[in-house]
């Protein structure tokens, strides 16, 4: 592999992946990104221009996609509409990008015979009870809850069908909740960090008992590179770093790390259909491909993330006001 096409490379996890690839491999990268509200070219600042090419465009644009597939050796597909709350408000873009966009890329992968890695989420498996000791595995049946997760589930099934029916050389990974730099302020952790910076109290949906399994975005990137390198074609790999925390614990830790009283937050209207708990068993990835996460310690990864938001207000400030206006119109 020498040139990778990274769709959604101006988004949160895609941009972390591009930084990781440039820092840890000798691959070059072409980014294809539509620069929706969630995309930000500044997330790719400082990368070498002779190794990273940026193309503004839509993954549903079949002729552009076809042209770009002809110029690369492999494709890593991050582009998506990614926010559950937005999918409850306006599902249509989720169908267009997550379903039709993935279909458009798969057809190009088929035509050009390109290696394809599809990025997905643990949310395709639905949720677990809070007191259930089980975790998701690659065998857990699909049972998505939201318009977002159902379109991601649909995109995964398209990839599986294109492998089986047309022999596309694809792999899939389903990762748990990511945190780290360059995450949009609509998402839970950056929303609360930037609220505290702005003197706004953090907002916890419902009782705050919902559990998420946190992984640093850089660990997600190393796992994806491992799968691209050594993953078996047609296989799915779950990615997780044993980082289960309930939302209340995360908010209390953010407040403590930012020098505020641990109870200085508000409970707000709960999310409709709010998944209770996600938890990943990543044994297959660890045992079969030898991957391990580098960020073992959630509090220190979170402290570094807080530092990043303190140091990069210019990056997030332009989105903050509109994001909070949207939430407050929903009582959140």
> Residue 117 or residue 187: which is nearer to ligand TDX going by CB?
187
Decide: helix, strand or coil at residue 76.
strand
The answer to the question of residue 78 lying near ligand NAD (CB under 6 A) is yes
Among 58, 123, 156, 219, binds ligand TDX (CB under 6 A): 123
Strands 170-175 and 236-239: parallel
The answer to the question of residue 101 lying near ligand NAD (CB under 6 A) is yes
Decide: helix, strand or coil at residue 148.
helix
Q: Where does this chain touch ligand NAD (CB under 6 A) — which range of 105-113, 125-133, 170-178, 228-236?
A: 170-178
The answer to the question of residue 79 lying near ligand NAD (CB under 6 A) is yes
Among 12, 116, 295, 309, binds ligand NAD (CB under 6 A): 12
Site of tokens 């798969």: 106
**Are residues 69 and 108 in contact, defined by beta-carbon separation less than 8 angstroms?**
yes
Residues in 251-280 at the binding interface with ligand TDX, rule: CB under 6 A: 271
Per the DSSP assignment, residues forming a β-bridge with 121 are: 175
Decide: helix, strand or coil at residue 304.
helix
Residues in 244-273 at the binding interface with ligand NAD, rule: CB under 6 A: none
Q: Residue of minimal CB distance from ligand TDX?
A: 121
Q: Please, what sign has the CA dihedral across residues 100, 102, 107, 108?
A: positive
Residues in 163-222 at the binding interface with ligand TDX, rule: CB under 6 A: 177, 187-188, 191, 203-205, 210, 212
Residues in 40-99 at the binding interface with ligand TDX, rule: CB under 6 A: 82-84
Catalytic residues: 122-123, 148
Among 1, 25, 36, 54, binds ligand NAD (CB under 6 A): 36
Q: Which residues contact 100 (CB under 8 A, 6 or more apart)?
A: 60
Q: Residue of minimal CB distance from ligand NAD?
A: 11
- Nearest CA among 180, 159, 179, 161 for reference residue 170: 159
Q: Which does 109 bind (CB under 5 to 8 A by kind): ligand TDX, ligand NAD, none?
A: none
**Considering the complex, what minimum distance in angstroms separates the CB of residue 176 from ligand NAD?**
6
> Residue 47 or residue 175: which is nearer to ligand TDX going by CB?
175
Site of tokens 């945190």: 179
**Distance set, CA 263 to CA 55, 112, 245, 266, 269 (Å):** 45, 55, 17, 9, 18
Decide: helix, strand or coil at residue 37.
coil
Specify the DSSP class assigned to residue 97: I
Query: Contact residues for ligand TDX (CB under 6 A)?
Result: 82-84, 121, 123, 177, 187-188, 191, 203-205, 210, 212, 247, 271
């Amino acid at each position: 592999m020498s040139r990778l096409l990274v769709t959604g490379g101006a988004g949160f996890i895609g941009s972390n992946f591009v930084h990781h690839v440039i820092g840890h491999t000798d691959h070059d990268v072409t980014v294809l990104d539509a620069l929706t509200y969630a995309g930000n070219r500044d997330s790719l600042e400082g990368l070498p221009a002779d190794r990273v090419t940026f193309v503004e465009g839509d993954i549903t644009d079949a002729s552009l996609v076809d042209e770009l597939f002809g110029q690369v050796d492999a494709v890593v597909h991050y582009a998506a509409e990614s926010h559950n709350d937005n999918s409850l408000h306006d599902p249509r873009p989720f169908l267009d990008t997550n379903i039709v966009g993935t279909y458009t890329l798969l057809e190009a992968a088929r035509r050009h015979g390109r290696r394809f890695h599809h990025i997905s989420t643990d949310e395709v498996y639905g949720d677990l009870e809070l007191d259930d000791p089980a975790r998701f595995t690659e065998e857990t049946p699909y049972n998505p809850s939201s318009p977002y997760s159902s379109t991601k589930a649909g995109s995964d099934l398209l990839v599986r069908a294109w492998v089986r029916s047309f022999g596309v050389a694809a792999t899939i990974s389903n990762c748990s909740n990511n945190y780290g730099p360059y995450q949009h302020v609509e998402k839970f952790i950056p929303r609360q960090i930037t609220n505290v910076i702005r003197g706004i109290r953090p907002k916890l949906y419902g009782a705050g008992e919902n559990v998420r399994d946190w992984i640093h975005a850089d660990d997600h990137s190393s796992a994806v590179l491992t799968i691209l390198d050594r993953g078996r074609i047609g296989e799915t790999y779950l990615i997780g770093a044993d980082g289960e925390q309930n939302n209340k614990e995360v908010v209390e830790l953010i407040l403590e790390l930012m020098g505020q009283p641990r109870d200085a937050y508000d409970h707000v209207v709960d999310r409709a259909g709010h998944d209770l708990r996600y938890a990943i068993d990543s044994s297959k990835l660890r045992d079969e491909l030898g991957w391990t996460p580098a960020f073992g310690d959630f509090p220190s990864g979170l402290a570094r993330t807080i530092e990043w938001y303190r140091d990069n207000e210019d990056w997030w400030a332009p989105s903050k006001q509109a994001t909070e206006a949207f939430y407050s119109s929903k009582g959140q």
